[in-house]
Amino acid sequence: MKKAKIYKPSKTAMQSGLKKFEKWIIEFITKDPTINPLMGWESSNDTFSELKMEFSSKELAVEYAKKNKIEYELIEPKERKIVKKSYSDNFIK
């Protein structure tokens, strides 16, 4: 079967909130992308590369992969380090 990666997406630099980032995603890893001879774009004959599935928890995503015999790689999210600052901290040093 195909190999997939299970991850929790991170926010982009253009976003400040974290509302849409509770979901875990299974995305299939595509090998051997080819160049389209007509347009010169990178393409693939593998339709699994277009598939992204969302799950509400990591356990559900891993359970789905095991149930369907999908070899997977689990990528844990990095913890955010929040530094609380006050406006007055700008003038203290």
**pLDDT recorded at residue 64:** 94
| Predicted structure pTM score | 0.70
- Average pLDDT score over the chain: 84
Place of tokens 């990178």: 42
**CA atoms of 28 and 45, how far apart (whole Å):** 13
**pLDDT recorded at residue 18:** 65
Taking only the tens place, the pLDDT of each residue in 11-45 is: 777 777 766 678 999 999 877 778 888 888 877 77
**CA atoms of 73 and 68, how far apart (whole Å):** 15
CATH topology of domain 3-10+22-92: Double Stranded RNA Binding Domain (3.30.160)
CB 33 within 8 Å of CB 44: yes
**pLDDT recorded at residue 72:** 94
